[in-house]
Amino acid sequence: MEQPSERKPLRADAARNVDKIITAARQCFREHGPEVPLQTIANTAGVGPATLFRNFSDKEQLVLAALSRQLRQHVDPVAATALDGMDAAEGLINVIDAVMQVASEDANLLDAVAGRRGLLIGITRGIIGSMATLLERGQGQGSLRRDITIEDMVRLVAMLIGAVDTMEPGSAAWKRPVALVEDAIRTERPTRPLPEQSGIPGVTLTEAL
Protein backbone atom coordinates (compact mmCIF):
# COMPACT_ATOMS: atom_id res chain seq x y z
CA MET A 1 0.00 0.00 0.00
CA GLU A 2 1.19 3.51 -0.81
CA GLN A 3 2.20 5.34 2.36
CA PRO A 4 0.91 8.91 2.87
CA SER A 5 4.47 10.27 2.66
CA GLU A 6 4.84 8.70 -0.79
CA ARG A 7 1.99 10.67 -2.38
CA LYS A 8 2.79 12.74 -5.46
CA PRO A 9 2.22 16.52 -5.27
CA LEU A 10 -1.42 17.41 -5.97
CA ARG A 11 -3.04 20.28 -7.85
CA ALA A 12 -4.41 23.00 -5.58
CA ASP A 13 -8.04 21.91 -6.01
CA ALA A 14 -7.17 18.24 -5.47
CA ALA A 15 -5.12 19.13 -2.38
CA ARG A 16 -8.11 21.03 -0.97
CA ASN A 17 -10.32 17.99 -1.50
CA VAL A 18 -7.81 15.74 0.27
CA ASP A 19 -7.65 18.18 3.17
CA LYS A 20 -11.46 18.28 3.42
CA ILE A 21 -11.68 14.48 3.32
CA ILE A 22 -9.04 14.01 6.03
CA THR A 23 -10.66 16.65 8.25
CA ALA A 24 -14.05 15.00 7.76
CA ALA A 25 -12.58 11.58 8.50
CA ARG A 26 -11.25 12.74 11.88
CA GLN A 27 -14.62 14.26 12.73
CA CYS A 28 -16.59 11.19 11.65
CA PHE A 29 -14.33 8.71 13.41
CA ARG A 30 -14.59 10.77 16.59
CA GLU A 31 -18.39 11.00 16.36
CA HIS A 32 -19.29 7.57 14.95
CA GLY A 33 -16.38 5.27 15.79
CA PRO A 34 -14.06 3.17 13.59
CA GLU A 35 -16.93 1.50 11.70
CA VAL A 36 -18.15 4.76 10.15
CA PRO A 37 -19.00 4.23 6.43
CA LEU A 38 -16.88 5.98 3.83
CA GLN A 39 -20.08 7.44 2.37
CA THR A 40 -20.65 9.31 5.64
CA ILE A 41 -17.13 10.72 5.45
CA ALA A 42 -17.65 11.81 1.83
CA ASN A 43 -20.95 13.49 2.73
CA THR A 44 -19.35 15.31 5.67
CA ALA A 45 -16.47 16.46 3.45
CA GLY A 46 -18.90 17.70 0.80
CA VAL A 47 -17.38 15.55 -1.95
CA GLY A 48 -18.70 12.67 -4.00
CA PRO A 49 -17.67 9.04 -3.41
CA ALA A 50 -15.68 9.09 -6.66
CA THR A 51 -13.53 11.95 -5.36
CA LEU A 52 -12.90 10.12 -2.10
CA PHE A 53 -11.93 6.85 -3.80
CA ARG A 54 -9.78 8.67 -6.34
CA ASN A 55 -7.61 9.83 -3.45
CA PHE A 56 -8.00 6.94 -1.00
CA SER A 57 -8.52 3.41 -2.27
CA ASP A 58 -9.95 2.19 1.04
CA LYS A 59 -10.66 3.21 4.63
CA GLU A 60 -7.28 1.98 5.85
CA GLN A 61 -5.41 4.31 3.51
CA LEU A 62 -7.58 7.23 4.61
CA VAL A 63 -6.99 6.45 8.29
CA LEU A 64 -3.23 6.31 7.76
CA ALA A 65 -3.29 9.64 5.92
CA ALA A 66 -5.26 11.24 8.75
CA LEU A 67 -2.94 9.84 11.42
CA SER A 68 0.12 10.84 9.41
CA ARG A 69 -1.13 14.42 9.14
CA GLN A 70 -1.72 14.61 12.89
CA LEU A 71 1.76 13.27 13.62
CA ARG A 72 3.40 15.68 11.16
CA GLN A 73 1.52 18.66 12.60
CA HIS A 74 1.70 17.88 16.30
CA VAL A 75 4.62 15.52 16.96
CA ASP A 76 7.29 16.38 14.38
CA PRO A 77 7.69 20.00 15.62
CA VAL A 78 8.06 18.75 19.20
CA ALA A 79 10.66 16.21 18.08
CA ALA A 80 12.59 18.90 16.18
CA THR A 81 12.62 21.14 19.25
CA ALA A 82 13.71 18.23 21.43
CA LEU A 83 16.61 17.39 19.12
CA ASP A 84 17.77 21.02 19.28
CA GLY A 85 17.50 21.11 23.08
CA MET A 86 20.09 20.43 25.75
CA ASP A 87 18.12 18.02 27.98
CA ALA A 88 17.59 14.84 25.97
CA ALA A 89 15.53 13.08 28.65
CA GLU A 90 13.10 15.98 28.88
CA GLY A 91 12.93 16.10 25.09
CA LEU A 92 12.14 12.39 24.88
CA ILE A 93 9.28 12.74 27.37
CA ASN A 94 7.96 15.75 25.44
CA VAL A 95 7.85 13.64 22.27
CA ILE A 96 5.97 10.88 24.11
CA ASP A 97 3.55 13.49 25.47
CA ALA A 98 2.87 14.74 21.93
CA VAL A 99 2.29 11.20 20.63
CA MET A 100 -0.13 10.51 23.47
CA GLN A 101 -2.03 13.73 22.83
CA VAL A 102 -2.65 12.59 19.24
CA ALA A 103 -3.52 9.07 20.40
CA SER A 104 -6.05 10.42 22.89
CA GLU A 105 -7.70 12.83 20.46
CA ASP A 106 -7.83 10.31 17.60
CA ALA A 107 -8.35 7.04 19.46
CA ASN A 108 -10.96 5.79 16.97
CA LEU A 109 -8.55 6.31 14.08
CA LEU A 110 -6.05 4.09 15.86
CA ASP A 111 -8.76 1.50 16.54
CA ALA A 112 -9.43 1.30 12.80
CA VAL A 113 -5.87 0.07 12.14
CA ALA A 114 -5.37 -1.86 15.38
CA GLY A 115 -2.95 -4.74 14.92
CA ARG A 116 -1.47 -3.35 11.69
CA ARG A 117 1.96 -2.88 13.21
CA GLY A 118 3.82 -2.63 9.91
CA LEU A 119 1.61 0.17 8.62
CA LEU A 120 1.90 2.17 11.83
CA ILE A 121 5.68 1.75 11.91
CA GLY A 122 5.72 3.13 8.37
CA ILE A 123 4.17 6.47 9.36
CA THR A 124 6.08 6.75 12.65
CA ARG A 125 9.55 5.84 11.40
CA GLY A 126 10.84 9.41 11.65
CA ILE A 127 9.48 9.80 15.19
CA ILE A 128 11.09 6.52 16.24
CA GLY A 129 14.38 7.75 14.80
CA SER A 130 14.13 10.95 16.85
CA MET A 131 13.34 8.94 19.98
CA ALA A 132 16.37 6.72 19.36
CA THR A 133 18.63 9.77 19.05
CA LEU A 134 17.22 11.34 22.22
CA LEU A 135 17.55 8.05 24.11
CA GLU A 136 21.20 7.71 23.14
CA ARG A 137 21.92 11.33 24.07
CA GLY A 138 20.13 10.99 27.39
CA GLN A 139 22.13 7.89 28.21
CA GLY A 140 25.31 9.78 27.37
CA GLN A 141 24.19 12.65 29.63
CA GLY A 142 23.54 10.19 32.44
CA SER A 143 19.84 11.07 32.75
CA LEU A 144 18.41 7.92 31.12
CA ARG A 145 19.11 4.31 32.06
CA ARG A 146 21.79 2.72 29.90
CA ASP A 147 20.07 -0.68 29.83
CA ILE A 148 17.04 0.66 27.92
CA THR A 149 16.91 0.17 24.14
CA ILE A 150 14.81 1.82 21.44
CA GLU A 151 12.88 -1.45 21.19
CA ASP A 152 11.96 -1.00 24.85
CA MET A 153 10.82 2.55 24.15
CA VAL A 154 8.66 1.53 21.19
CA ARG A 155 6.99 -1.16 23.31
CA LEU A 156 6.45 1.27 26.19
CA VAL A 157 4.82 3.83 23.89
CA ALA A 158 2.67 1.07 22.34
CA MET A 159 1.51 0.09 25.83
CA LEU A 160 0.72 3.71 26.65
CA ILE A 161 -1.32 4.05 23.46
CA GLY A 162 -3.15 0.82 24.29
CA ALA A 163 -4.10 2.27 27.67
CA VAL A 164 -6.05 5.07 25.93
CA ASP A 165 -8.96 2.61 25.70
CA THR A 166 -9.25 2.83 29.50
CA MET A 167 -9.62 6.63 29.47
CA GLU A 168 -12.26 9.17 28.56
CA PRO A 169 -11.76 10.18 24.90
CA GLY A 170 -9.74 13.36 24.55
CA SER A 171 -8.91 13.51 28.27
CA ALA A 172 -5.48 14.08 29.78
CA ALA A 173 -5.63 10.84 31.78
CA TRP A 174 -2.61 9.60 29.80
CA LYS A 175 -0.35 12.02 31.69
CA ARG A 176 -0.21 9.76 34.76
CA PRO A 177 0.98 6.57 32.97
CA VAL A 178 3.48 8.67 30.99
CA ALA A 179 4.84 9.97 34.30
CA LEU A 180 5.17 6.38 35.54
CA VAL A 181 7.14 5.49 32.40
CA GLU A 182 9.36 8.52 32.96
CA ASP A 183 10.03 7.33 36.51
CA ALA A 184 11.08 3.95 35.09
CA ILE A 185 13.47 5.16 32.39
CA ARG A 186 15.28 7.97 34.21
CA THR A 187 18.38 7.23 36.26
CA GLU A 188 16.94 9.38 39.06
CA ARG A 189 13.24 9.44 39.81
CA PRO A 190 11.73 12.93 39.42
CA THR A 191 10.60 14.61 42.64
CA ARG A 192 7.35 15.91 41.12
CA PRO A 193 4.08 14.27 42.24
CA LEU A 194 2.23 11.99 39.87
CA PRO A 195 -0.56 13.62 37.84
CA GLU A 196 -4.05 13.13 39.24
CA GLN A 197 -5.55 9.65 38.98
CA SER A 198 -8.67 9.18 36.84
CA GLY A 199 -11.22 6.40 36.81
CA ILE A 200 -11.77 3.85 34.07
CA PRO A 201 -14.99 4.69 32.19
CA GLY A 202 -17.79 2.25 32.96
CA VAL A 203 -15.75 0.32 35.54
CA THR A 204 -15.81 0.57 39.33
CA LEU A 205 -12.73 -1.33 40.41
CA THR A 206 -13.55 -1.20 44.13
CA GLU A 207 -16.65 -3.30 43.42
CA ALA A 208 -14.60 -5.83 41.46
CA LEU A 209 -12.07 -6.39 44.26
pLDDT for 79 equals 98
Does the pLDDT at position 9 exceed 80?
no
Residue 24 lies in a domain: yes
Are 21 and 79 contained in the same domain?
A: no
Are 73 and 176 contained in the same domain?
A: yes
Are 38 and 106 contained in the same domain?
A: no
Are 163 and 83 contained in the same domain?
A: yes
Are 151 and 49 contained in the same domain?
A: no
Are 177 and 86 contained in the same domain?
A: yes
Does the pLDDT at position 5 exceed 60?
no
Are 42 and 89 contained in the same domain?
A: no
Residue 62 lies in a domain: no
Q: Long-range contacts: 131-134, Cβ < 8 Å, 24+?
A: 131/79, 131/92, 131/95, 131/96, 131/157, 133/83, 134/82, 134/83, 134/88, 134/89, 134/91, 134/92, 134/95
Q: How many domains does the chain have?
A: 2
Residue 195 lies in a domain: no
Helical H segments across the chain, by residue range: 12-32, 38-45, 49-55, 59-74, 76-84, 88-105, 107-112, 117-141, 150-162, 175-185, 205-208
CATH of the domain at 114: 1.10.357.10
Burial class (CB in 10 A: 0-12, 13-18, 19+), 30: middle
Are 91 and 119 contained in the same domain?
A: yes
Are 143 and 52 contained in the same domain?
A: no
Residue 145: pLDDT band by 50, 70, 90 thresholds? very high
If you average pLDDT over residues 40-54, what whole number do you get? 93
If you average pLDDT over residues 132-137, what whole number do you get? 98
- pLDDT, averaged across the chain: 89
Are 76 and 21 contained in the same domain?
A: no
Residue 191 lies in a domain: no
Structural domain containing residue 77? 68-185
If you average pLDDT over residues 57-86, what whole number do you get? 94
Number of other CB atoms surrounding residue 55 within 10 Å = 19
Higher local confidence (pLDDT), 121 or 166: 166
DSSP per position, 84-111: HSS-HHHHHHHHHHHHHHHHHHTHHHHH
Encoded amino acid at 10, one letter: L
Residue 131 lies in a domain: yes
Who contacts 153 (Cβ-Cβ below 8 Å, separation ≥6)? 92, 131, 132, 135, 185
